[in-house]
Amino acid sequence: MEVRTNVIDDALKLTKACNYKNAGTVEFLIDDAGRHYFMEVNPRVQVEHTVTEQVTGVDIVQSTFLIASGASLDEIGLVQEKIVPRGVAMQCRITTEDPVRAILSSFM
């Protein structure tokens, strides 16, 4: 739990320093000792957004549209202290590849 708290704290520090006010993903790597290292910020909704939605209960796509329409974070109820991650979630992507056809999609 401490690692999660530290990652969230650092992501918030970064976005607050940039005055960032919309959906985005702050990515970190975590080593075996639980230390985290900043990788990048993606200022858009990513395909993995459903994992965050499951853990936080926040509809990220809807929130992004509301913010783009002029709503403030407070107006749509996105107050950081009220966003409490619960549990864990995992997303899996299943692809089909045909090794006989040089790993091309089996649908081609």
Give helix then strand counts, H and E, for the chain. Answer: 3, 4
Q: Which residues are catalytic?
A: 44
Q: Cα(20)–Cα(78) distance, rounded to whole angstroms?
A: 13
Any idea what DSSP says for residue 7? H
